[in-house]
């Protein structure tokens, strides 16, 4: 199925992980994908892999903390593909918490919010006029949130940014709907990406707490993004879709403890 034939798509933070998997998935379904990343070499490597598989992809360095860089990326996508039909906000920043909350720094807090939340705001602001001009109701924004924005899984600044991104999704959906643009968010649980490199033991322990018995893979999230970006979801906007192996259904560890396991 090629649900994105000739779509112009821009994905942030797409040099690896969830962003790269999403770029591959949408390109495989016919999209022309602009792979953006802070690391231009990483973006080009991901785009080259798509082209080797027969897809259409280009690469561009983009810093979502810089409005000029964001505006340039959106303009480049429109110029190269003729339109911009889908924006995927995937870029994020996540720093570990200080041992005590009072030791958290303004710099870490601001960095996580500026990349994760305000970066998505900058991208949506630049892209929205083009998405509204997309034909046949194709215009869509899909942001990558997190279960951290829904419950406590640690990381104060990152979690606050992801919760804010869910809020922005709802308010922007209401604004953009009359303009023919849908806005949704995917909230992943723990996903095996490079961020977990060298921590296989931690992932194995985490898997025990997921009702479906495993942590996620980037392709799990890419599939959900593809659905929400496609016209299969033409009557869906303003939602947060958990793709989390069931972790938000409840605290399975507590249930086991109460059973004496």
Question: Has 158 been annotated as catalytic?
Answer: yes
Q: Are strands 182-188 and 56-61 parallel, antiparallel or unpaired?
A: unpaired
Question: How much of the chain is helix, strand and coil, in % rounded to 5?
Answer: 50, 15, 35
Residue 155 Ramachandran class (φ > 0 left, ψ -120 to 50 alpha, else beta): left
- Which of 7, 92, 121, 158 does the annotation list as catalytic? 158
* Distance between CA atoms of residues 256 and 259, nearest Å: 5
CA dist 177 and 99 (Å) reads: 43
Burial grade of 181 (CB within 10 A; 0-12, 13-18, 19 or more): buried
Q: Which residues are catalytic?
A: 158
């Amino acid at each position: 199925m090629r649900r994105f034939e000739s779509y112009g798509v821009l994905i942030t933070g797409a040099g690896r992980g969830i962003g790269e998997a999403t770029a591959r998935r949408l390109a495989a379904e016919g999209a022309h994908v602009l792979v953006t990343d802070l690391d231009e070499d990483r973006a080009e490597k991901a785009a080259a892999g798509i082209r080797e598989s027969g897809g259409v992809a280009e690469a561009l360095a983009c810093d979502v903390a810089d409005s000029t860089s964001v505006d340039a990326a959106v303009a480049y996508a429109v110029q190269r593909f003729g339109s911009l039909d889908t924006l995927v906000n995937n870029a994020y920043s996540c720093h570990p918490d200080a041992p005590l909350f009072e030791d958290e720094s303004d710099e870490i807090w601001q960095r996580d919010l500026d990349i994760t939340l305000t970066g998505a705001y900058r991208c949506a602001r630049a892209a929205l006029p083009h998405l509204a001009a997309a034909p046949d109701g194709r215009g869509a924004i899909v942001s990558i949130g997190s279960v951290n924005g829904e419950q406590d899984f640690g990381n104060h600044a990152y979690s606050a940014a992801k919760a804010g991104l869910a809020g922005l999704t709802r308010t922007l959906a209401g604004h953009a709907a009359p303009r023919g643009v849908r806005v949704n968010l995917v909230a992943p649980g723990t996903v095996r990406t490079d961020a977990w490199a060298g921590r296989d033991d931690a992932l194995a322990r985490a898997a025990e707490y997921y009702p479906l018995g495993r942590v996620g893979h980037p392709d799990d999230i890419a599939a959900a993004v593809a659905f929400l970006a496609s016209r299969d979801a033409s009557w869906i906007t303003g939602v947060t879709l958990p793709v989390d192996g069931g972790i938000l259904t409840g605290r399975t560890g507590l249930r086991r403890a109460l059973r004496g396991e």
